[in-house]
Amino acid sequence: MPTLAELQIRLGHSFRDDNLLRLALTHPSIAHEANAATAHNQRLEFLGDSVLGLILSRALYEKFPEADEGALTKSRAKLVNAGSLAARARQLGLGTHLILSRGEENTGGRERASALADAFEAVLGAIFLDGGFEAARDFVQREFAADFESLTEAVDIENPKGELQELLQAKSPHAPEYEFIAATGPDHDRLFECAVHHAGAELARGTGKSKKAAESTAALAALEKLRAGKPAES
């Protein structure tokens, strides 16, 4: 098996704390197999997901100064999804370094897209903790350089509610449902918040200057989560 030193060369980051990298590569199945509170990479995945979103959001904000929120959200979703993250993990060879339970190993866990995508985000989270924001940003810029360069204009979406319904009903007979949450601010400058639900689970929330705008923003957020392979909240 290739060493962690070789992996760090491919990552372009030399870890001061190798334990962070090992933790990023530790699949949750290890804890399940041990039936004990064993540390694994889900917390680092959570952190890495947020760091990735921030770095790409800022880059898109600066690249497309005329694009609105919807176009920027759609562009980010085009760059980041479970499939694209798994592909990057494969290119880096993360699968060969994953620390898995016997059961996960025997069922092809090293090549499972979800495990690879999670590991990619966890490794980014580890780089952020070990080297700071600049190290994380440099890693993301290297990994996404080609796709970011090929994105010559922000991806617009005219009907996010319709696209969300089409996506969901391709797999389920249930249509998304929208819930008004609250309205804040003075009468002349109200801000509305709405949530979108599907099959009893909340997918996302959004805000806007009208209920319709808030529903559209919620639909955009739900589309981004679904394309990134994120679960709904029960």
Active site residues: 49, 121
How far is residue 145's CA from residue 164's CA, in Å, rounded to a whole number? Answer: 29
Residues 81/227, Cβ–Cβ less than 8 Å = yes
Report the alpha-carbon distance of residue 80 to residue 220 in Å, rounded: 14
- 201-208, strands of its sheet edge to edge: 177-184, 191-198, 201-208
* Spatial CB neighbours of 88, under 8 Å, sequence gap ≥ 6: 120, 143
CA 30 from centre of chain: 23
Element (H, E) at 224: helix 211-227
The total number of residues written for the chain in this structure: 234
Give me 172's structure tokens: 């389920």
Query: Residue 50: CB partners within 8 Å, gap ≥ 6?
Result: none
- From first CA to last CA, the distance across the chain in angstroms is 40
Q: Return the amino acid letter for 19.
A: N
CA 222 to CA 208: how far, in whole Å? 15
